[in-house]
Chain A
Amino acid sequence: MTSFSSTRWFSHALGGIDRFLFEPRSRTPLRLMRIAYGLFLVVYFTSLYSPAMMLYGTDGLVSRSGEYPLSHVDRPHLFHLISDHSDHVVWLVIGGGITSGFWLASGVLTRIAPLVTWLFVSSVVTVIPGNSGDMLVMCFATYMAAAGLAGHLNAGRNNSPHRLPTNPTGKHPPKAISKEVVGTTNLVKSPILGKAYRRLLIEPFTSSGQTIPAWSIRLFQIQLVYVYFFSGYHKLANDTWYHGTALHYIAGQTFWSRVDLSQLLGWPAVTSLMTTTVLLFELLAFPVLVWVKPWRIPILLAGVIFHVTISITMRVFVFHQILILYYMAFLLPGDWQAIWSLFRPLQKFLSCSGWQAEATRATDGS
């Protein structure tokens, strides 16, 4: 009886893992993450130009000293492979990184683009001094590469029974891309801009009928949960966090503050409460509640508020921006539709009464 129960339990567990990793999921979150990450990389690499030039430029620190003490990196990176210590290498890496970001966002050759992106990201992360946020950028690139190799990032236009008709011959477009959602913008009349508009703003939000195994999105989700849980776990090892005084000291660090938080020094009960809240959020609330359906959106919203607040008040770079991108892994197609609908006023603003007028004239024969 016991062996039967344990066998059944084991088979249930295996079934649960199998469902967790391989259940069909919409491509929409991954597509949007690809676009968002690509655009993020454009900004990221642009911001790295100055430090990269300082370290690896013709007259940079490495060329001045021969062996400037930098952190050892196991991964291949271009500054090591092309070690001529010149501005050209910096231009290559930064320019290549920016280009790869645009490439990834564009959705062209989605199996190769993440690999190229990975190479450029790998060439700057920890090679140029950074923080935990840079490590998350690197992890994101690795998971994108895995998803890209598995073919989960493509738009599904080629060979897909769900592909969007490029020229509907009397057929109505699929329901998911109704005229209301697509909008009636002037942009779509231009061949190039219209294509980019559809690829970046319409298709990712609308082609939710195509599915992929869940594992590629799980990589991002589990990573995010690990980030929170282990941040809290390691914080507990420090007595300032354990005794609720950590945020008191953080508020006192004007060097790392964007705004004057020293007012909080006079309110130790408040900083103590905030410290405990942060710990509970990281250790318990986020890692657990994000998997509970009714709590998923509230906890994600709480996280966004948490990170936006820190971004505004503290001089922390990259970490909060990239973490928000990880949040996208927890959003379902319905959530994206809801977000997209928030931009309806913008769509209306862009909407082309012009083409409607033309269409009306055409049908009226005027």
Chain B
Amino acid sequence: MPQEDPCYSQKPKKPVEPPSAFTSPTAQKMLQRPQSGVARFFLGSLLLAHFGILFLNNLAWSPAIASVWPYYAPYVGKLGLAQDWGMYRAPARFDQRIEAEGITPAGRQPISHDMLGWNSSRMLYFIEGLCVRNSPIETSIYLSWVYDQIPTPFRPEWGLTMRREVKQIPEPTDTNTRLAWRPKEEFFFWSEEE
């Protein structure tokens, strides 16, 4: 008695079907490699155009790119193929820290990043963007949201402030210099009660 392989299901055995028009090796070959003649030429052209568009989209902005951009922008935009690999392209020459403080009658109280929800890189990226854009209205809306997220017992009475401080990174040739933190931007949110 042949030993059944337990790696396969134990369903009732079905007879092996003879190859049909769709399961024959020739049909499979056609299905898997349908690109022949005109279809193959068009698909190949489309793919080359795609690679060419991505190449153009990756180049730095220039008058030449500006002149052809309107023709391929819809393709890139609608399909979500935007190409922008700018991470660390121009590293900042300063370090930074962003802190939030609650404003109470007794003064300012630091608030932990966990309580603010600043515990993921994406959130840090978001709040850094807020500071860099330096839009008081946008930041105020965000701080109002943060204020509401703080549990009531810990919610500062008067409002919130968010501050970014920066510190120059010493030049590679001058590593002995110790530079100090200095304030860059500060945003306020005052609670309605106040």
Main secondary structure of the interface of A (DSSP, over half): helix
Residues of B within 8 A of A125 (CB): 80
Contact mask for chain A residues 180-199; partner B; CB cutoff 8 A; 1 contact, 0 none: 00111000110100110010
Contact mask for chain B residues 1-40; partner A; CB cutoff 8 A; 1 contact, 0 none: 1110111111111101001001111011001110100001
- Chain A CB within 8 A of B68 CB: no
Interface residues of A (CB under 8 A from B): 17-18, 21-22, 24, 47-48, 50-51, 54, 59-61, 64-65, 68-69, 74-75, 118, 121-122, 125-126, 129-132, 135, 138-139, 141-142, 151, 159-161, 165-170, 173, 177, 179, 182-184, 188-189, 191, 194-195, 198, 202, 210-213, 215, 218-219, 222-223, 226-227, 229-231, 233-235, 237-238, 240, 245-246, 248-250, 252-256, 265-266, 268, 271-272, 315-317, 319, 355, 359, 362-363
Interchain CB contact (< 8 A) of B80 among A75, A212, A237, A268? A75
Residues of A within 8 A of B78 (CB): 74-75
State the Cβ distance, B177 to closest chain A Cβ, in Å.
11
Interchain CB contact (< 8 A) of B175 among A21, A47, A177, A268? A268
Interface residues of B (CB under 8 A from A): 1-3, 5-14, 16, 19, 22-25, 27-28, 31-33, 35, 40, 43-44, 47-48, 50-51, 54-55, 58-60, 74, 77-93, 95-98, 117, 120-126, 128-129, 135, 137-138, 141-142, 144-145, 148, 169-173, 175
A-B contact pairs, 30 of them (CB 8 A): A47-B120, A51-B122, A51-B123, A68-B138, A69-B135, A129-B122, A130-B125, A151-B31, A159-B22, A167-B8, A173-B7, A179-B5, A179-B7, A182-B5, A188-B6, A191-B9, A194-B9, A198-B7, A210-B32, A215-B43, A230-B59, A233-B60, A235-B89, A253-B169, A254-B97, A255-B98, A255-B128, A265-B175, A315-B124, A317-B121
Contact between A246 and B88, CB atoms less than 8 A apart: yes
State the Cβ distance, B90 to closest chain A Cβ, in Å.
5
Contact between B35 and A131, CB atoms less than 8 A apart: no
Residues of A within 8 A of B96 (CB): 253, 255
Residues of A within 8 A of B80 (CB): 75, 118, 121-122, 125, 135, 138-139, 141-142
Determine which residue in A21, A138, A211 has the highest number of CB atoms from chain B within 10 A of its CB, and name it.
Answer: A21
Instruction: Given A18-B44, A170-B2, A266-B175, answer yes or no on A132-B87 (Cβ-Cβ < 8 Å).
Output: yes
Residues of B within 8 A of A59 (CB): 145, 148
Main secondary structure of the interface of B (DSSP, over half): loop
Residues of B within 8 A of A212 (CB): 32-33
Query: In the complex, what distance in Å separates the CA atom of A355 from the CA atom of B8?
Result: 13
Contact between A317 and B86, CB atoms less than 8 A apart: no
Contact between B169 and A230, CB atoms less than 8 A apart: no
Determine which residue in B40, B78, B90, B97 has the highest number of CB atoms from chain A within 10 A of its CB, and name it.
Answer: B90
Specify the chain A residue showing the minimal Cβ separation from B46: A215
